[in-house]
Amino acid sequence: MSNTYIIEVDSESAGIVVRDRTGFRFFSASRRFDPLDGKVFRSARDAERAAIRFAQQREAA
């Protein structure tokens, strides 16, 4: 099982998640996703879902 994953949303690098003792910590790769920077998720998939939801909410606004 990997410890680091790249998260992409709509062919854009949103960030990476790195496994630590508490879960998967998100590090944004784009200012667009800075509000998620530093957040911890239960899994890499949860982080990906959060990034997708975040991008969709911003597009709807």
Domain count, the chain: 1
Q: 33: which DSSP letter?
A: G
Residue 58 has pLDDT above 90, yes or no: no
pLDDT at 15: 98
Task: Specify the 3-state DSSP secondary structure of 16.
Answer: strand
pLDDT at 1: 67
Q: Where do we find the tokens 């410890």? A: 3
Tell me which residue range forms the domain holding 12. Answer: 4-60
The pLDDT tens digits for 17-55 are 999 999 999 999 999 999 999 999 999 999 999 999 999
- pLDDT confidence band for 60 (50 / 70 / 90): confident
